[in-house]
Amino acid sequence: MSTENEGTEVPADPSAPSVPPTPPAPPAPPAPPASADDVHPEQQQTQVQPQVHAPAPAHAPAPAHAPAPAHAPAHAPTPAHAPAQTPAPEPATVAAGGWPPPPPAVPAWGAPVPPVPEAPRKRTGGLVAAVLVAALVAGGVGGGIGYWAAERGDDGISSTTVSVGDSPASFKRDPGTVAAVANKALPSVVTIQAKSGGGGGGDSEGEGGTGTGFVYDKEGHIVTNNHVVASAAEGGTLSATFSNGKTYDAEVVGRAEGYDVAVLKLKKAPDGLAPLPLGDSEKVAVGDSTIAIGAPFGLSNTVTTGIISAKNRPVASGDGSGGNNSYMSALQTDASINPGNSGGPLLDASGAVIGINSAIQSTGNGFGQSQAGSIGLGFAIPVNQAKNVAEELIKTGKPVYPVIGATVNMTDKGEGATIAQEGAGGTPAITPNGPAAKAGLKPGDVITALGDRQIDSGPTLISEIWTHESGDTIKLTYERDGKPTTTTVTLGERTGDN
């Protein structure tokens, strides 16, 4: 708002004329209406202006240098139906021509001031409305006029203005608002500092990174992304800082590179830890509200909001061609997620965790972490999958992956997942006596669907398989020589990342 007009003088009262049309006289009370019901609201604000005779003095000599007004009437005409009025007392002295009367005598200092007759009240609703409209159109003029309009009510009664800084002491945020959810969740979200061992010996420290995690249980387990802690997993140091500023050393319990999930444990966990409640990522719908909490670019305790913009989005956390890439059938959100948000919770409107923020779409470097900012395409590991992985890591320290027992082409897209002619290092593409072999699959077959999910590439197939658990039996559709065939496959398992 502009301040150049903040000193605008308060306008004078429009109901007080500079020269009164008639000599001041006590107003006669208006005749009361027959009943309250017979009077309209707008009529109740109108006062009768009494008319009085003002006879001029017979022998008042005119001053030598004060000519009488050319059009001064000898007396004011009396309306035909005006009620009889008591003549006003003749003033002791009258100015030349009988009008205007001299100004009232100024009382001596400390003497009581005689009461001033109340000015006739007029309807000011239209005036105030015009002032308010003008204030909206010209916002910079609000300093003077806005205050004047606030001080004057339509009924002439002064009103009290409330300072912007005043807020009701009893103000409370309703449950389910973003502020309420964030306020409850923030004490259970930590900022993770990971530093590698340095590799140079002595006390030197290696490179560090910042990520996010959240309290999983009261024993002090923290769930985050594997890529947040990978640099410190071998000989490095880890710490977790809560929203109250307290920092605790931590250690790795287990990591799953393929899922991009890791579990830490606070070395000296404080009492009173409040684990975040876990939701059900299968019940999430596109359009549901989301809240992301993390430390983007090191800015701890940052809260952003958005919606679920897509489900079952096949995402590779790297470029999709390496052996240590992570794959997920991700929840896509437009909540702002940046480097440093990784490992933090994606919450629903009730404050339950529905995913772990893991990757972003970059305009330059593809999926995964980069120094590019958010463009509204963030991806989270569904919490149902993350929970299974975390429980396994806490229990055994190693991840367990469901597998199909076949090597597929990871570069072709759009036609399904094609089973390769041979595996890595010349090994068979179909594991002997494995799940795919038992289901009748052969090299060259193109897998087009797993359950009710369409498969368009190798990464999509892996992402979808990893949403299940080993031992699950799933319907599988594939094409051989252009002919579609449906079979069932019971998933096997692989323990560890090697």
Question: Which residues carry out catalysis?
Answer: 227, 260, 342
- CA nearest to 29, candidates 110, 78, 86, 67: 86
Question: What distance in Å separates the CA atoms of residue 200 and residue 149, rounded to the nearest whole number?
Answer: 73
Asked whether the beta carbons of 355 and 294 are under 8 A apart, the reply is no
Q: How far, rounded to the nearest angstrom, does the alpha carbon of residue 69 sit from its chain's CA centroid?
A: 71
Asked whether the beta carbons of 330 and 382 are under 8 A apart, the reply is yes
Question: What are the tokens at 418?
Answer: 């094609």
Asked whether the beta carbons of 100 and 19 are under 8 A apart, the reply is yes
Asked whether the beta carbons of 208 and 194 are under 8 A apart, the reply is yes
181's enclosing H/E stretch is: helix 178-185
* Angle subtended at Cα 71 by Cα 68 and Cα 76, rounded to the nearest 5 degrees: 105
Q: The tokens 């289901």 sit on which residue? A: 439
Residue 46 CA neighbour count, 13 Å, CB half: 8
- CA nearest to 334, candidates 302, 291, 276, 363: 291
Q: Which residues contact 55 (CB under 8 A, 6 or more apart)?
A: 74, 75, 87, 90
185 three-class SS: helix
Asked whether the beta carbons of 325 and 319 are under 8 A apart, the reply is yes
**Could you give the residue ranges of the DSSP H alpha helices within 75-157?**
125-137, 145-151
- CA nearest to 339, candidates 212, 238, 224: 212
Question: What are the tokens at 289?
Answer: 């509200």
